[in-house]
């Protein structure tokens, strides 16, 4: 056997690659944490240095290149007396986005280097061993390892040996209410609390739910459990989901004050753009797309309340928080200003920590609100309107950069029969599981939407039709293997898919129409297949 054919060598190479990917995740987790706390680059530099060493040692060129880029940014910050600038934050964020795509999802070229979102197991502390076994088996389909327990001794021993990614604890595990006590006990002394979810066969009263909250519970499932709903919540609690720094537009006619505010926010990893001329505000809003606006009250050409009204006249910016930052200390005038389109009023001088905390809290809530506006409530995917907006934005970039773009439409086969036979709750479970399946197996740069009912849409940038077909066909094949516990027998579902590629001179209406026609061909060609639009 030659060296190239040695399976042990291939396994070793894969193991080394996974070591590098795990360290990349550590860097990403530190980066995310720094978005929510005071900026300190020492921890990030240390984690990144380990990534660079691992990547060079195990010959992972892409990771080494990204780690070196991050190191260069941190060195530039040090040279600037430890100060971050908006350009450095933006560059760091771009590097982190690229790093997140090397392991947390398929690679940019859809290479088969896939790391499930969680590398640790989930502990299942459930009384019913058969239920726990079925749930663990279902979770495996989503790339998640689950370890069931049916007694407290085995659970305690496992906790001493290794902490899990998350815990699902039955409230009455090992006795009435004892699951709550056990959960509270294991969380004591932990510097970082574990994601903890509770389960109860019966609907629970308010005192029980209060006890679950006090025990550290972040979710309480009642009645039935399915893998897709459980995994969806676990991903939210454990996944490194937010890498994009907050973006703040500062409008202040005093260059010195604006620069001070900019430096304070930059030091917290917040990207800023400053205007000293309020008349340029609307153009800057369209270009910069901020999460929040900081506005001076008194400016010579246009005062803050007038500008707030102008901003609020545009529907796109109705929900963008506006914070007045002014030396005005008259409470009545502050309240009047907030009634004119403002959300908060901060008085100069203000402590940096106060300013940073206010901006983060307001911007975070605004992002959450926006996410609810553009996402489907059942699946968390983009809604019909927003996925088409993303398709239009992505098609514009694809033409500008001469890169391929593919649009795919998916439809669950015989879905009406699922609803008629098993009921609408089961239909919802199938829809949610396919949504989660797509999120796990597609890249972070891909856009996934619920087009309507049982129909989904996927925008795949930098991807030609043949590559998209390979990826979506693999997803189709694996999705068909999932079984949903039901009576009189377990349910399994398939989907059909149509794909179209953007060509020169084509608009998005034509592109989506071609994908729909390809889906029609797949449906009428026997279903459970992927078809590319043929002229």
pLDDT at 107 over 60: no
Q: Is 253 left (phi over 0), alpha (psi -120 to 50) or beta?
A: alpha
pLDDT at 38 over 80: no
Which of 39-43, 241-245, 350-354, 370-374 comes out lowest in average pLDDT? 241-245
Could you tell me which of 150, 146, 145 has the C-alpha nearest to residue 128?
A: 150
Which of 35-49, 163-177, 491-505 comes out lowest in average pLDDT? 35-49
**461-474: pLDDT as tens digits:** 999 999 999 999 99
The token pair at 433 is 């599981």
Q: Which CA distances in Å does 364 have to 141, 207, 242, 394?
A: 33, 31, 11, 25
The fold for domain 122-238 equals Rossmann fold (3.40.50)
Task: Give φ, ψ of 55 to 5 degrees.
Answer: -65, -40
For the chain, the first-to-last Cα distance in angstroms comes to: 48
Average pLDDT over residues 53-73: 88
For residue 524, what is the DSSP state?
A: H
H-state helical runs in 162-215: 178-187, 206-214
The CA radius of gyration of the chain, in Å to the nearest whole number, is: 26
Which of 146-150, 208-212, 333-337, 382-386 comes out lowest in average pLDDT? 333-337
Q: Which residues contact 149 (CB under 8 A, 6 or more apart)?
A: 123, 124, 125, 126, 132, 155, 158
Q: Which CA distances in Å does 486 have to 425, 492, 493?
A: 11, 10, 13
pLDDT at 529 over 90: yes
Which of 28-42, 160-174, 314-328 comes out lowest in average pLDDT? 28-42
pLDDT at 502 over 90: yes
Q: Which residues contact 260 (CB under 8 A, 6 or more apart)?
A: none
**319-347: pLDDT as tens digits:** 899 998 887 777 887 888 777 778 888 88
* pLDDT the model gives residue 105: 40
Distance CA 507, CA 513 (A): 10
* pLDDT the model gives residue 397: 85
pLDDT at 500 over 80: yes
* pLDDT the model gives residue 144: 74
Q: Residue 185: which pLDDT band, with cuts at 50, 70 and 90?
A: confident
The token pair at 160 is 């001493």
Q: Domain ranges for the chain, please list them.
A: 14-100, 122-238, 247-373, 384-532
- Range list of β-strands (E), 339-486: 344-347, 405-412, 447-452, 455-461
The token pair at 41 is 């680059």
3-class DSSP assignment, residue 149: strand
Mean pLDDT score across all residues of the chain: 83
Q: For residue 100, give the H/E element and its range.
A: helix 86-100
CB atoms within 10 A of CB 450: 23
Q: Are 135 and 227 in contact (CB under 8 A)?
A: yes
Do the domains 122-238 and 247-373 sit in the same CATH topology, yes or no? Answer: yes
The fold for domain 384-532 equals Alpha-Beta Plaits (3.30.70)
The secondary structure of 258-291 as a DSSP string is HHHHHHHHHTTT-EEEEES-GGGHHHHHHHH--S
* pLDDT the model gives residue 8: 56
Average pLDDT over residues 274-289: 86
The secondary structure of 334-358 as a DSSP string is HHHHHHTT-SEEEESS--HHHHHHH
Residues forming beta bridges with residue 147, ordered by sequence position: 123
Average pLDDT over residues 363-383: 83
* pLDDT the model gives residue 36: 66
* pLDDT the model gives residue 239: 58
Query: pLDDT above 70 covers what percent of the chain?
Result: 89
Q: Does domain 247-373 have CATH number 3.40.190.10?
A: no
pTM metric for this prediction: 0.60
């Amino acid at each position: 056997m030659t060296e190239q054919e040695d399976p042990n060598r291939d396994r070793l190479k894969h193991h080394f690659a996974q070591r590098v990917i795990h360290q990349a995740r550590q860097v990403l987790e530190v980066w995310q944490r720094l978005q929510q706390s005071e900026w300190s680059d020492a921890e990030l530099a240390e984690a990144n240095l380990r990534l660079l060493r691992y990547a060079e040692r195990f010959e992972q060129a892409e990771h080494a290149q990204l780690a070196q880029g991050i190191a260069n940014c941190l060195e530039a910050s040090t040279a600037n007396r430890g100060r971050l600038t908006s350009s450095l934050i933006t560059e760091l964020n771009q590097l982190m986005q690229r790093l997140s795509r090397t392991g947390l999802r398929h690679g940019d070229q859809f290479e088969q280097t896939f790391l499930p979102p969680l590398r640790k197991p989930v502990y299942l502390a459930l009384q019913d061993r058969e239920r726990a076994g079925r749930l663990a088996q279902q979770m495996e389909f989503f790339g998640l390892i689950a370890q069931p327990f049916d007694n407290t001794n085995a659970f305690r021993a496992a906790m001493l040996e290794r902490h899990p990614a998350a815990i699902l604890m039955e409230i009455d595990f090992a006795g009435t209410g004892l699951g709550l006590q056990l959960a509270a006990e294991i969380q004591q002394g932990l510097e970082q609390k574990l994601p903890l979810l509770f389960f109860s066969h019966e609907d629970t009263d308010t005192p029980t739910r209060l006890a679950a909250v006090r025990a550290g519970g972040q979710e309480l499932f009642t009645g039935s459990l399915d893998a897709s709903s459980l995994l969806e919540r676990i991903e939210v609690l454990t996944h490194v989901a937010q890498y994009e720094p907050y973006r703040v537009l500062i409008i202040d006619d005093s260059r010195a004050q604006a620069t001070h505010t900019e430096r304070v926010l930059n030091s917290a990893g917040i990207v800023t753009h400053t205007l000293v001329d309020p008349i340029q505000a609307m153009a800057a809003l369209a270009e910069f797309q901020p999460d929040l606006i900081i506005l001076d009250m008194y400016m010579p050409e246009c005062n803050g309340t007038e500008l707030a009204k102008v901003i609020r006249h545009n529907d796109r910016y109705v929900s963008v928080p506006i914070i007045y930052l002014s030396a005005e200390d008259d409470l009545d005038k502050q309240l009047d200003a907030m009634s004119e389109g403002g959300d908060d009023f901060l008085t100069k001088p203000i402590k940096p920590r106060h300013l940073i905390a206010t901006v983060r809290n307001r911007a975070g809530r605004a992002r959450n609100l926006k996410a609810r506006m553009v996402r489907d409530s059942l699946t968390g995917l983009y809604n019909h309107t927003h996925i088409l907006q993303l398709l239009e934005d992505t098609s514009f970039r694809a033409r500008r950069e001469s890169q391929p773009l593919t649009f795919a439409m998916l439809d669950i086969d015989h879905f009406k029969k699922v609803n008629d036979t098993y009921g609408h709750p089961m239909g919802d479970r199938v829809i949610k599981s396919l949504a989660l399946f797509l999120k796990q197996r597609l890249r972070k740069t891909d856009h996934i939407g619920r087009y309507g009912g049982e129909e989904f849409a996927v925008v795949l940038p930098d991807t030609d039709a043949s590559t998209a077909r390979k990826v979506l066909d693999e997803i189709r094949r694996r999705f068909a293997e999932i079984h949903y516990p039901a009576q009189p027998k377990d349910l399994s579902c398939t989907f059909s898919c149509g794909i179209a590629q953007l060509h020169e001179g084509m608009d998005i209406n034509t592109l989506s129409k071609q994908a729909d026609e390809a889906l029609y061909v797949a449906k009428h060609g026997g279903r459970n297949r992927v078809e590319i639009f043929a002229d």
